[in-house]
Amino acid sequence: MPLDNPIMFIERRAQKWDSLSDDAQLALARQALHRAAETLAFQAEFIADEMDGGTLPDRGGAEALRLLVAVMRAASPAGMPVAGHA
């Protein structure tokens, strides 16, 4: 069980990661970044909608959250340069 010995669990994961090619590590890292950005964008949109609906107090935050979403989506991993290539 991973929770029985978290140090060994982490070490095994690190060994598996290190055994991946650089291209595979890059692809996985990009996918993780994309998923994280989409999760944040969804949450920001949800909060903005709640402000618009009156569930949460709005102090100008809804538009700021939507701007954040637009910036995150504009800077999606597909548009990011490959690491190590300037």
Residue 34 neighbours by CB under 8 Å, 6+ apart: 76, 77, 78
Q: For each of the chain's 86 residues, which pLDDT tens digit applies?
A: 556 777 777 778 778 878 888 888 888 888 888 888 888 888 888 888 888 888 878 777 778 878 887 887 777 655 544 444 43
Determine the Cα–Cα distance for residues 12 and 2; give it in Å rounded to an integer.
Answer: 10
* Predicted pLDDT of residue 6: 76
Do the Cβ atoms of 35 and 70 come closer than 8 Å? no
Per-residue model confidence (pLDDT) at position 81: 45
Query: Please, are residues 84 and 34 in contact by the beta-carbon 8 Å criterion?
Result: no
